[in-house]
Structure 1
Amino acid sequence: MIKIRKCPVCASLVKGRSDKLFCSAKCKSISQYENRQESEKFYLTVDKQLKTNRKLLKRYNKSGYTTIRKSELKDKGFNPKFFTHYWKNKKGDVYLFVYDYGFLAKKINGNDKYVLVTWQDYMG
């Protein structure tokens, strides 16, 4: 008697070896990703957001120092709660950094903006 096996991910017919569990490498990958522990998912989420933040800061800060509306960055997926370190200047302003790109929240002429900077040697 032949036992019909179905893929636990997509319910397709599994063909091949008798010990094969998934119909394709894609379904196997999906299953492994879904079965990760919560802490690992958390780190992947944080890493993804840090990469997104850095990419956006780099894209909008071509000159090394610029100002941009908060809404423009946030609309692209920027989340200011995710940063790697900070730097406090002599005035007491705290710049939050995502690796080598930093930002400072400011209200300029009644508008919420970010001042974007790049890491400099004197900040260390």
Structure 2
Amino acid sequence: MKQHKKCVYCDEKLVGRSDKKFCDAQCKSAYQYQQTKLQPQRFYTKVDNQLKLNRKILKEYNRGGKVTVREALLVDKGFDPNFFTHYWKNQKGEVYLFVYEFGFLKIKERNNEKYVLVLWQEYMSK
């Protein structure tokens, strides 16, 4: 009795090798994507995605090199200040947190929470 195997993804009848699992490359790719979506997101992936989002947001709002923006504006876009790559402390003792080349410092101005956004400068390396 000959057994007809079916594609793991779309249930189409398979023709060809006896160990074949998918009818074509699209079904294989779709199946692998589906399996990845079912798995819990790895910690590294979560951190990497948040860093990328933070960098994108800081880049979008800091076009002049140094600018002040409301905290709520960044947070509404998905910014999370707990994710940063490094920091720099100035002579006043203020600690700027950086997401790659884009830095931010939380300040309070007239009872409003704000961020001072800066770009990494060469003198900060010293």
Decide: shared fold, TM above 0.5. Answer: yes
> Residue 25 of structure 1 aligns with which residue?
28
Q: Which runs of no fewer than 5 residues in structure 1 stay unpaired?
A: none
Distance in structure 2 (CA, Å) of the matches to 1:115 and 1:77:
17
Instruction: Quickly say closer, same or farther: Cα 1:93–1:5, change in 2 above 3 A.
Output: same
> Residue 82 of structure 1 aligns with which residue?
83
Q: How far does residue 35 in structure 1 lie from its aligned partner after superposition? A: 8.0
> Residue 59 of structure 1 aligns with which residue?
60
Q: How far does residue 80 in structure 1 lie from its aligned partner after superposition? A: 0.7
Equivalent position amino acid for 1:21 in 2: K
State the number of aligned residues: 119
- State which structure, 1 or 2, has the greater radius of gyration over its C-alpha atoms: 2
Q: 1:41 aligned to 2:39?
A: no
Q: How far does residue 115 in structure 1 lie from its aligned partner after superposition? A: 0.6
Distance in structure 1 (CA, Å) of the matches to 2:19 and 2:99:
46
Q: In structure 2, the residue corresponding to 1:2 is in which secondary structure?
A: coil
Equivalent position amino acid for 2:92 in 1: K
Equivalent position amino acid for 2:112 in 1: N
Q: How far does residue 79 in structure 1 lie from its aligned partner after superposition? A: 0.9
TM-score (norm 1): 0.82
Which 4+ residue blocks in structure 1 deviate beyond 6 angstroms?
Answer: none
Q: How far does residue 26 in structure 1 lie from its aligned partner after superposition? A: 2.6
RMSD: 2.3
